[in-house]
Chain A
Amino acid sequence: MSILADKNSKILVQGITGTQASFHVKRSLDYGTNIVAGVTPGKGGTTHLGIPVFNTVKEAVKATGANASVIFVPAKSFKSAVLEAVDAQLDLCVAITDSVPTLDMLEIRRALLASKTVLIGPNTPGLITPDEARLGIFPENIHQKGRIGIVSRSSTLTYEAVLETNRANLGQSTVIGLGDDMVIGTNFPLILDKFMHDDKTDAIVLIGQMGGAFEEEAAEFYKKLSSPKPVVTFVAGSAGVMAQKMGYAGDIISGGKKSVQNKKEILQNAGMIVVDEINQIHDVLLTLFPNKDA
């Protein structure tokens, strides 16, 4: 059934009337995504792109039975938008919003602990289950329905990973961008777990990057699985010179050694297949699934 969202998901869009939201909601609708409601405070009772707009998430849920949301609201309103979705007990929020203050994310993560809502993002291209549901801003024309799950911490490299699965002629079950930010709603383990239990997913491509201990956490999780599906991994940032520019010194002080080489070793030791360059992913996939070679 793919993971987190499919053609049966009932999706509402928070901040639906914005310019960027409108552009992408229209494309998602054209793609066949089941968008049932929009939420923009003060614009309740109107319709936008043919979708009914409500003042609050709760009203939208009550009227339409929506169980997932895509968030396009500006960063300033982000915290209250997520807390509203949590309060309405949505199963899933996919947050496209960028530039969210980190402290707001700390508060949001605290609230998520006591809720069933899964937050993907912020600052993510979103989630797409090809031919079923597009939640976010993924360039839908590059996706092909298939059996590889993709989860990535880098927005743009997600697209690159998609192209790699296409090159192997395997396509994607669900593609998820976790978001590029300092603190994100969902880390790797939850997504890996869902892919492991998804009968439409045969293997997973995981894209990591320098900084944080996200890949280490993924390795720790994967190591404990009995007979897991194969995971092909690329970690961006080997060249290293960006570390000083983009890196967060707090990472190293709080967590020890965090070079990309180190991350790769940890992932490899956990049993994942690690490639040095992103364009090697399709080769590995073809070795794993030779019969599907076109």
Chain B
Amino acid sequence: MNIHEYQAKKILAQYGILIPEGKIAYTPLEAKNAAAEISARGPWMLKAQIQSGAREKGHFLEKRAGKDGGIRLIYRKRDILNQASQMLGATLVTTQTGPKGRVVSRIYVEAYKNVWTKFYIGLVIKRISATLTLLIAPFVSGSQNIVERAEQNPDAVLKIPVDLKKGVHKSQIRSACAFLGLSENYVTGLKKLVTGMLKAFVQTDASMIEINPAGVNRRGQIFALDAKMSFDDNAAFRHPELLKLQDDYEEEDRALKAKKFGFKYNDFDNGNVGCIVNGDGITLAAMDMLKSNGVDMVCALNVKGGVDKDKIAAGIKIIMTNPRVEGILINILGGFLRCNLIAEGIVAAASEVGVNVPLVVRFEGTNKDEAMEILQNSKLPIIIAKTMEESVDMLTSAMKEAM
């Protein structure tokens, strides 16, 4: 689960991390009042709250929002109202949102912080060693984000292993300061920042914290000028307080619906094949195989772990009623999941919404024979395949015929 910048900052502040003063605003008037409360003379930052990086370099789809991006530096108090009304309700497109962009429903109004240097700092999980890693890199203005930089030149990012219990040693902080070209005077400030990040990470079951950039002032203080936090969905049961922060507007309707039934749904930009599978690996493999047959997957529903046939039917309907879907591939390798439940779900969903596009089903594993019988008895126009490649071949040729 991801949250907005202002929410992340609020959490980080609880762990002793310094943040510029700020307030959230849902209307232009709220923004104007917030600005006055925060600072008498400014300048102020108006920051569109959508869950995406690169907001500053983004652009709005609507003309009325002006040519500037989603993060604006405002010097005159009288401009706040106008600038806020330009951004609120408009659609911000960034390199991370896709061409459709996201509607800005709220703006974070923040006091502008004068800093003399900035840097990137992140805390992530290193999966193979099951440890936390602190990532530090000099700030670079321009369009390149940290992921691209790390990909091109892994050495541009300093990586410090962090002990889950003991935290970070002062000598590690010293070398981080040296890496960033910061003097001894900043060791205390950086230590405070890192300690706060680690505490916040552990206490909230985060999966990633990024402060990009952190800003350093002459007094040795380090501020989180931007912040991004993601949380481990598996630990949500420990954090009812975080669930309230979830912004449903950030998720696609179909994904939200699938989540309600306990499944994962993904939409892709291109393609016309809808897939129902039970695992990420099989999604990937099916996608690769479809691609080599010249078609693309447009959406995938992962029903892994499903045990309730009504929920399975509801999930399958999400794919069947997606207007972009021109063919459906169901590939289930039952282990924990029992094929007969999926078959019952398919029949229930199909009887309700109809089979309007080619539908190929392949079952293997737990209760496969019962599942086949259910499909055959249903008399629905379902194509049955024996292997994964056969299912992909059968679907692509059925789709060609249907055209």
Chain A interfacial positions (CB closer than 8 Å to B): 20, 24, 75-76, 96, 98-107, 109-110, 125, 136-139, 141-142, 152-157, 159-160, 163, 180, 182-183, 187, 207, 209-214, 217, 234, 236-239, 241-242, 245-246, 248-257, 276-279
Contact = CB atoms under 8 A, between A and B. Distances in A.
Contacts, number: 204
Given A102-B125, A154-B279, A180-B281, A252 B151 contact: yes
Contacts of A256: 150-151, 154
A211 B127 CA distance: 9
Nearest to B96: A244
Nearest to B287: A239
Interface string B228-268: 00001111011000000000000000000000000000101
B285 A160 contact: yes
B382 interface: no
B334 interface: yes
A152 B284 CA distance: 14
Nearest to B366: A139
A109 B163 CA distance: 12
B57 interface: no
A156 B303 CA distance: 12
A251 B128 CA distance: 10
17 contacts: A103-B164, A110-B130, A125-B335, A137-B366, A139-B365, A155-B335, A211-B127, A237-B288, A239-B284, A245-B266, A248-B125, A249-B208, A251-B127, A254-B150, A254-B159, A255-B154, A257-B151
B49 interface: no
A154 B281 contact: yes
B95 to A, nearest CB: 11
Contact of A239 (B208, B291, B335, B336): B291
Interface string B269-295: 110000001111111110111111000
Interface string B125-162: 11110111101000000000011001100100101000
Given A101-B235, A102-B205, A183-B125, A252 B278 contact: no
Interface of B: 122, 124-128, 130-133, 135, 146-147, 150-151, 154, 157, 159, 164-165, 202, 205, 207-208, 232-235, 237-238, 266, 268-270, 277-285, 287-292, 296-297, 304-305, 307, 333-336, 364-366, 368, 387-389
Contact of A241 (B127, B132, B268, B305): B268
B49 to A, nearest CB: 19
A-B pairs with the 6 shortest C-beta distances?
Answer: A154-B281, A250-B124, A139-B365, A156-B279, A109-B130, A236-B284
B127 A236 contact: no
B122 A250 contact: yes
A160 B282 CA distance: 9
A142 B237 contact: no
Nearest to A208: B281
Given A106-B132, A107-B164, A110-B130, 18 more contacts: A75-B237, A102-B125, A103-B164, A103-B205, A139-B364, A142-B364, A156-B278, A160-B282, A160-B333, A182-B207, A182-B232, A207-B281, A238-B288, A239-B290, A241-B268, A242-B284, A255-B126, A257-B151
Contacts of B289: 277-279
A254 B151 contact: no
A7 B336 CA distance: 22
B207 A279 contact: no
Nearest to A183: B130
A128 to B, nearest CB: 10
Given A75-B234, A101-B238, A256-B150, A154 B389 contact: no
Contacts of A241: 268-270, 287, 296-297
B287 A242 contact: yes
A145 B389 CA distance: 24
Nearest to B298: A241
A279 B388 contact: yes
B211 to A, nearest CB: 13
A234 B284 CA distance: 11
Contacts of B266: 242, 245-246
A213 B232 CA distance: 20
Contacts of A109: 130
Contact of B333 (A139, A249, A276): A139
A99 B337 CA distance: 15
A154 B127 contact: no
A62 B335 CA distance: 32
A101 B203 CA distance: 12
Contact of A20 (B146, B336, B368): B336
Contacts of B365: 139, 141-142, 159
Contacts of A253: 122, 124, 135, 146-147, 150, 157
Contacts of B234: 75, 99-102
Contacts of A154: 279-282, 284-285
B285 A157 contact: yes
A234 B281 CA distance: 11
Nearest to A246: B280
Contacts of B270: 241
Nearest to B132: A106
Given A139-B333, A155-B335, A236-B285, A183 B150 contact: no
A111 to B, nearest CB: 11
Contacts of B147: 249, 252-253
A120 to B, nearest CB: 14
Contact of B130 (A106, A137, A180, A254): A106
A163 B364 CA distance: 10
A182 B127 contact: yes
A106 B206 CA distance: 13
A230 B177 CA distance: 47
A71 to B, nearest CB: 13
Contacts of B389: 277, 279
